[in-house]
Amino acid sequence: MSTENEGAVGPSEAKPPTEPLASDSAPASASGAQTPDTVHMPTTPPAAPPPPDFTPTAAAGPHGPAAPGGGIPGDQDRTATMAAHPQQPGGPHPGGGWGQPPYGGGGDPWGVPGGPAPKKRNGGLIAAVLAAALVAGGVGGGIGYWAAGRDGTASTTVTAPGNPEALNRKPTSVSGIAQKALPSVVTIEAQGITGEGGTGTGFVYDKQGHILTNNHVVAGAADGGGKLTVTFSNGKKYDAEAVGRAEGYDVAVIKLKNASDAVLKPLPLGRSADVQVGDATIAIGAPFGLSGTVTTGIISAKDRPVASSDGGGTSASYMSALQTDASINPGNSGGPLMDAGGNVIGINSAIQSAGSNGLGGEPQQSGSIGLGFAIPIDQAKRVAQDLIRTGRPIYPQIGVQVGMRDTGEGATIARTGNNGTDSVTPGGPADKAGLRPGDTITKLDDTVIDSGPTLISVIWQHKPGDRVTLTYERGGQEHTAEVTLGQRTGDK
């Protein structure tokens, strides 16, 4: 049995998930999708019209073919795996455990359900195709101009200036909300000391220069002493440093260096607890490196248990996510998901992506299929406050190790713990409430628990000191227990 030390409900012994974002295996069901930090795409068309026999060629970039002008920086893949849920058939991939690799190689302290170990990929293929398409568009325009110049029938059309009033939009319209929010949304470039890196999104959290984003956006630079650069919509760039990171929550706070007060316009935060299915959503980010991209949709589900992991297996997290059908793609990671009032209700973190294998068996990055997942802002705000105050995350816990492979029947406390430890922490919250090895937790308050990952995602919606009611089965009999959540402080 794969078990998880629910210290934060943290795993202990399993082999976590999942499929890489753009799929190198089977289509995802209750399994993996991912959202990487994105890729830059050169978008400048040729400077001069080409001759009729011109044939564009692609320069070799560091991660695959690219358009003229340079290669495509790699990204960090982000996989989303939906845990089994009462409203959705299926279950998580088997696996999950402290210090176990999500793909059979490399450590994963969070125990996201597992699968085979794919190669590390930099996800440049789709970006390269998009870049090539943009260049082809430029070439086509050049050829059209050249042909018109040879034809005596060429003409010029002059358009009268438009009505300035027609450009005004109501503040409550999507356009009005986007115009107000865009100056507060930033593109984050994270570069490791080896020169590899990628891009993601973040947004201004306060007037002290703190930027809220995903941990997986900045982890590559923060772990290896690399460089973080933040670019605003007006083109201004600032260096930044990591203030604190919460790997399990996939939340990070970075701080700008020498930023002027004029650019620090915090986005208003809403209440994710008040969000309802069907509410309108607006997402802003840098999908595939295209900064300032605005998409819209609705909340298509709430409290969706999701386990997500980056393609390198360096981090994994659990969330009880807001699900949206707004178009979310690699590079939207860390960006705001807003409501119809322009308030942030979540941090876009992962996507479910239909996968297919690329040429030569290489995984391709897939785009949005209308299943994006955001960390609820109520949880992200609490985590951000801890990180700003202490630089370290605080995880609520009940102090048990639970099975991560079994789904549909609840979260079963392991008979024995990892490395000879007790599966129920002596003196911990669960021990004090009378829970024992072999008990199967089926509900937390009114939420049905159908797996270990679901238990984790629900507990992490709370804070240490909260009192919850656990329903569990022992020997065919149902019991309840009041539990006061303990806490564990992590390094990240």
pLDDT tens by residue, 117-135:
343 333 322 223 333 333 3
- Count of beta carbons in the 10 Å neighbourhood of residue 421: 14
CA–CA distance, 116 with 114 (Å, rounded to integer)? 7
Whether residue 271 has pLDDT greater than 90: yes
Would you state the pLDDT for residue 212?
98
Would you state the pLDDT for residue 9?
46
HEC string of the chain equals CCEEEECCCECCCCCCCCCCCCCCCCCCCCCEECCCCECCCCCCCCCCCCCCCCCCCCEEECCEEECCCCCCCCCCCEEEEECCECCECCCCCCCCCCCCCCCCCCCCCCCCCCCCCCCCCCCCHHHHHHHHHHHHHHHHHHHHHHHHHHCCCCCCCCCCCCCHHHHCCCCCCHHHHHHHHHHHEEEEEEECCCCCEEEEEEEECCCCCEEEECHHHHHHHHHCCCEEEEECCCCCEEEEEEEEEECCCCEEEEEECCCCHHHCCCCCECCHHHCCCCCEEEEEECHHHCCCEEEEEEEEEEEEEEEEEECCCCCEEEEEEEEECCCCCCCCCCCEEECCCCCEEEEEEEECCCCCECHHHCECCCCCCCCEEEEEHHHHHHHHHHHHHHCCCEEEECCEEEECCCECCCEEECCCCHHHCCCECCCCHHHHCCCCCCCEEEEECCEECCEHHHHHHHHCCCCCCCEEEEEEEECCEEEEEEEECEEEECCC
Whether residue 181 has pLDDT greater than 80: yes
Q: What is the CATH number of domain 272-381?
A: 2.40.10.10
Q: What percent of the chain has pLDDT over 70?
A: 62
Whether residue 66 has pLDDT greater than 50: no
Residue 345: what are its φ and ψ, rounded to 5°?
-115, -10
pLDDT tens by residue, 162-171:
666 667 888 8
Q: Which of 99-103, 253-257, 282-286, 365-369 shows the lowest per-residue confidence on average (mean pLDDT)? A: 99-103
Note if 422 is an active site residue: no
Q: Which of 134-143, 263-272, 418-427, 439-448 shows the lowest per-residue confidence on average (mean pLDDT)? A: 134-143
Residue 170: what are its φ and ψ, rounded to 5°?
-65, 140
Tell me the mean pLDDT in the region 430-437.
96
Q: Which of 77, 250, 325, 386 is catalytic?
A: 250
Compare 54 and 403 and report the one with higher pLDDT: 403
Tell me the mean pLDDT in the region 326-338.
96
Would you state the pLDDT for residue 470?
97
Q: Which of 264-273, 351-360, 400-409 shows the lowest per-residue confidence on average (mean pLDDT)? A: 351-360
Q: What is the pLDDT confidence band of residue 91, given thresholds at 50, 70 and 90?
A: very low
Domain spans in the chain, listed from the N-terminal domain onward: 272-381, 394-489
Compare 308 and 145 and report the one with higher pLDDT: 308
Closest to 64 (Cα-Cα) out of 137, 134, 121: 121
Fold of the CATH domain 394-489: Pdz3 Domain (2.30.42)
Q: Which of 12, 216, 386, 457 is catalytic?
A: 216
Tell me the mean pLDDT in the region 348-358.
71
pLDDT tens by residue, 148-161:
333 444 444 455 56
pLDDT tens by residue, 281-294:
999 999 999 999 99
pLDDT tens by residue, 394-426:
999 999 999 877 777 899 999 888 887 889 999
Note the maximum CA span of the chain.
91
**Entry pTM:** 0.69
Residue 382: what are its φ and ψ, rounded to 5°?
-60, -45
pLDDT tens by residue, 451-472:
998 999 999 999 999 999 999 9
Note if 439 is an active site residue: no
Whether residue 49 has pLDDT greater than 70: no
Tell me the mean pLDDT in the region 10-31.
33
Whether residue 377 has pLDDT greater than 90: yes
Note if 63 is an active site residue: no
Would you state the pLDDT for residue 129?
31
Q: What percent of the chain has pLDDT over 90?
A: 50
Tell me the mean pLDDT in the region 71-87.
42
Whether residue 12 has pLDDT greater than 50: no
Would you state the pLDDT for residue 132?
32
Whether residue 55 has pLDDT greater than 60: no
Whether residue 75 has pLDDT greater than 60: no
Whether residue 234 has pLDDT greater than 90: yes
Q: What is the pLDDT confidence band of residue 261, given thresholds at 50, 70 and 90?
A: confident
What mean pLDDT is reported for the chain? 73
Q: Which of 184, 317, 333, 451 is catalytic?
A: 333
Would you state the pLDDT for residue 315?
59
Would you state the pLDDT for residue 161?
61
